[in-house]
């Protein structure tokens, strides 16, 4: 824990010069800079965090609020936390965790104690309690996800409607006239903010393209995930030549397994596209086309916006949608294989 004056002494300069040299906030002669950097390195010097917060006007910390809900999908959640942390570090920012009940109390606490420069909100619910709070506190806040009432808020998310539309377009372009949609369990459409958007986008674009679309929202439990299997069977036997999946990874695997059990080949007999997945769909057997939800994309944008706000820049209080991207892995083809 060397201090700045030790570095100054070692380099034979004043402490202000050390500060400027290390922050790069004013020009320093090459020679002086070199001596300072060397001294800093040898002493393993880093500015004291507390002093820096106090003297400078930033903490270099973002608070990350995440209510670990019981129904939170852990792997996806971890991916977002990790992506946020990595994105923040690019700007030399650290992440402070705010969990559970603490989500609200914590935001207040962090705001009034100046512990963080901004707040990133994860795992957003449609009627999220953190919405009101965000409007009240005077701290830059970015939602990663879109609550129902998002007026005046800065939100970041994948354009799920467009993602679904992309999937429908792909299938419609190939000639499919009837597609089946396997979604999350019904409760997800109330507790989470994005499943409804996927469904809406899908059904809307299907209607536009004159494609028949049947939606099933199977429970994700039961022995061998029977509901998912039944959904797949019903859809395929009902005439769907393509399946769009928006569900967890296990349900994906089960759906593929059921197709195999039914003797339907992918993509010859049935085309399959995954929408909004945070997991790798290319490692399924067979690999599945995907319009993924990429955590790093959302989190990087969120952090960038938060940084801009911290720097006093203008950031529109609006939903910042991320354009979806179609990733082909060979699971789609024109309809008409065996069932031709």
Partner DNA sequence: TTGAAAGCGATACCAG
Partner DNA sequence: CTGGTATCGCTTTCAA
State the residues that interact with DNA by CB under 7 A: 2-5, 12-17, 19-20, 22-23, 25-29, 31-33, 45, 47-48, 50-52, 54-57
Q: Pick one of a second copy, DNA, none as the site partner of residue 89 (Cβ within 5 to 8 A by kind).
A: a second copy
Q: Pick one of DNA, a second copy, none as the site partner of residue 15 (Cβ within 5 to 8 A by kind).
A: DNA
| Residue 318 in the binding site for a second copy (CB under 8 A) | no
Q: Pick one of DNA, a second copy, none as the site partner of residue 308 (Cβ within 5 to 8 A by kind).
A: none
CB atoms within 10 A of CB 94: 14
Report which secondary-structure segment, H or E, holds 297: helix 295-310
What is the CA 224 to chain-centroid distance, rounded? 29
Q: To the nearest whole angstrom, how small is the minimum distance from the Cβ of residue 18 to DNA? A: 7
Q: Pick one of a second copy, DNA, none as the site partner of residue 82 (Cβ within 5 to 8 A by kind).
A: a second copy
The answer to whether the beta carbons of residues 137 and 108 sit under 8 Å apart is yes
Q: To the nearest whole angstrom, how small is the minimum distance from the Cβ of residue 165 to a second copy? A: 30
CB neighbours of 104 closer than 8 A, spacing ≥ 6?
129, 130, 133
Give CA–CA dist 285/292, Å, rounded. Answer: 18
Q: To the nearest whole angstrom, how small is the minimum distance from the Cβ of residue 264 to a second copy? A: 16
Q: To the nearest whole angstrom, how small is the minimum distance from the Cβ of residue 291 to a second copy? A: 23
| Residue 207 in the binding site for a second copy (CB under 8 A) | no
Work out the angle at residue 63's Cα, subtended by the Cα atoms of residues 59 and 68, and round it to the nearest 5 degrees. Answer: 160
The answer to whether the beta carbons of residues 266 and 337 sit under 8 Å apart is no
The answer to whether the beta carbons of residues 110 and 96 sit under 8 Å apart is yes
Piece of the chain touching a second copy by CB under 8 A; list 93-101, 173-181, 185-193, 317-325: 93-101
Give CA–CA dist 87/299, Å, rounded. Answer: 7
Give CA–CA dist 101/147, Å, rounded. Answer: 18
CB atoms within 10 A of CB 305: 21
Residues 46-65 that bind a second copy (CB under 8 A): 46-54, 59, 61, 64
Q: To the nearest whole angstrom, how small is the minimum distance from the Cβ of residue 196 to a second copy? A: 25
Q: Pick one of a second copy, DNA, none as the site partner of residue 34 (Cβ within 5 to 8 A by kind).
A: none
The SS3 of residue 131 is helix
Give CA–CA dist 154/142, Å, rounded. Answer: 5
What is the CA 290 to chain-centroid distance, rounded? 16
Q: Pick one of DNA, a second copy, none as the site partner of residue 257 (Cβ within 5 to 8 A by kind).
A: a second copy
- Do you find a cis peptide bond into 286, omega within 30 degrees of 0? yes
The answer to whether the beta carbons of residues 328 and 289 sit under 8 Å apart is yes
Q: Pick one of DNA, a second copy, none as the site partner of residue 31 (Cβ within 5 to 8 A by kind).
A: DNA
Piece of the chain touching a second copy by CB under 8 A; list 95-103, 202-210, 240-248, 312-320: 95-103
Residues 119-148 that bind a second copy (CB under 8 A): 138
Residues that bind a second copy (CB under 8 A): 1-2, 44-54, 59, 61, 64, 68, 72, 74-75, 77-78, 81-82, 85-86, 89, 94-97, 99-100, 102, 108-109, 111-115, 138, 223-224, 250, 257
């Amino acid at each position: 824990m060397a201090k700045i004056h030790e570095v100054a002494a070692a380099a034979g300069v004043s402490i202000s010069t050390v500060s400027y040299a290390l922050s790069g906030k004013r020009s320093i002669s090459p020679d002086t800079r070199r001596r300072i950097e060397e001294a800093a390195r040898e002493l393993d010097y880093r500015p004291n965090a507390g002093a820096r917060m106090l003297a400078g006007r930033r903490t270099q910390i973002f608070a990350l609020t995440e209510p670990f809900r019981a129904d939170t999908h852990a792997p996806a959640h971890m991916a977002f936390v990790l992506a946020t942390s990595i994105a923040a570090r690019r700007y030399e920012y650290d992440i402070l965790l705010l969990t559970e009940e603490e989500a609200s109390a914590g935001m207040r606490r962090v705001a009034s104690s100046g512990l963080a420069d901004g707040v990133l909100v994860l795992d957003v619910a449609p009627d999220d309690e953190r919405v009101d709070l965000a409007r009240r506190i005077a701290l830059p806040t970015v939602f990663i996800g879109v609550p129902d009432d998002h007026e005046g808020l800065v939100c970041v998310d994948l354009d799920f409607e467009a993602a679904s539309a992309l999937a429908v377009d792909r299938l419609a372009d190939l000639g499919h006239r009837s597609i089946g949609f396997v979604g999350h369990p019904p409760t997800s459409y109330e507790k989470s903010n994005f499943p409804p958007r996927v469904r809406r986008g899908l059904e809307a674009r299907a209607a536009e393209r004159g494609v028949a679309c049947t939606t099933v929202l199977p429970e994700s439990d039961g022995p061998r995930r029977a509901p998912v299997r039944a959904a797949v069977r019903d859809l395929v036997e009902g005439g769907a030549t393509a399946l769009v999946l928006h569900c967890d990874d296990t349900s994906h695997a089960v759906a593929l397994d059921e197709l195999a059990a039914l003797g339907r080949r992918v993509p010859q007999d049935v085309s399959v596209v995954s929408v909004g997945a945070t997991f790798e769909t290319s490692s399924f057997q067979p690999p599945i086309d995907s319009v993924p939800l990429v955590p790093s994309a959302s989190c990087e944008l969120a952090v960038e916006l938060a940084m801009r706000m911290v720097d006093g820049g203008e950031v529109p209080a609006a939903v910042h949608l991320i354009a979806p991207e179609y990733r082909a892995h060979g699971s789609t083809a024109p309809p008409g294989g065996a069932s031709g």
